Amino acid sequence: MKFEVVNEKLKIAACGLADLTMEQAQSFLRQWEEGASIGTLTLFYDRESGYVVLNRDNKDYKMYLDIAEGYLGASAEGREALDKEAPEGLHETIRVLKNSLIWRKADRDIYQAKKNYIDDSERITIREIIKRSGDKTGAACIAFRYGVMCGKRAERARRKKTA
């Protein structure tokens, strides 16, 4: 899919319906009610690029661009206020924008987590956590707590060294 970057800072782009792949169009239609038309698409979040992509063929494109820029550029308090004040017809749009921020944060956190070094002894412990847990979610929670524990140990060692 090709799209035109509209706002690099807020990661907003636009494309026409003709720019969507067949898979994308079918994916959107499967999520909507029976008989919906792809022409009603206003915006979506592209996980691959991290961009909120607006349908430039939509008759209300400019309004949706203003909403996206306003919401994504607002503070947490501002977004909360916009969410409360939004008319019923915009709740789905706000939900997409809110979810795009959640995905972006998750992607940033995962990127940073992958950049942290894990030594061989920690790998062994994490493998054992996964093996003994038998539950991916439980293993992730235990591994997270283990990471916090390791971080606290490292911080204490650093403080002891400088004291």
Give 60-109 pLDDT, tens digit per residue: 999 999 999 999 999 999 999 998 888 988 888 999 999 999 999 999 88
Measure CA 37 to chain center: 26
Per-residue pLDDT at 161 exceeds 80: yes
Does the model's pTM come out above 0.85? no
Query: H helices within the chain, ranges in order?
Result: 22-31, 61-73, 76-85, 91-115, 120-133, 136-162
Q: Phi-psi category of 50—alpha, beta or left, where left has phi over 0 and alpha has psi -120 to 50?
A: left
Residue labelled with tokens 């911080």: 155
